Amino acid sequence: MPEFLLRYKVPKEFTLDWEIESVQKQALEMAAQIQAKASETFFGWDVSCEVREFADTMGQSDFVTTGWVTDNDDAFVQVVLEAQEAILALMRELAFTDQTVECWWWRVKGKWDGAKGLKERPSRQHFLP
């Protein structure tokens, strides 16, 4: 399943709540349209996404999409390029003239169920009398 992260930056001169919220709203609306475009490009598949504000905005574009899809057999080389171009064009269309955009999509190899994670649970012993 394709996934992407849309990161955005709030201009430093935006200090009022309504100014910050307007950028957040723009990012959420952009993510919804990117999700639809990605689904259309990737054969109608479900596409999950996350929207997050940049922590450090120095040198970053105003909106950056970083996406990935599992492609163990190199079957999606052309589709990923098409998706990247279509999504970048959409982002340009949705951004204001003074905003910059970037779009990066990666083909990832591997098995999603092959990860060996660690999970820690708190000890319940401290609740005992």
Domains of the chain: 3-127 (3.30.429.10)
Total residues belonging to the chain:
129
Pinpoint the alpha helices (H) of the chain: 17-41, 77-94
Which tens digit of pLDDT belongs to each residue from 48-85? Answer: 999 999 987 778 899 999 999 999 999 999 999 999 99
Give the whole-angstrom CA distance, residue 69 versus residue 64.
17
What confidence score (pLDDT) does residue 56 get?
75
Q: Is 115 exposed, middle or buried (0-12, 13-18, 19+ CB in 10 A)?
A: exposed
**Does the pTM exceed 0.85?**
no
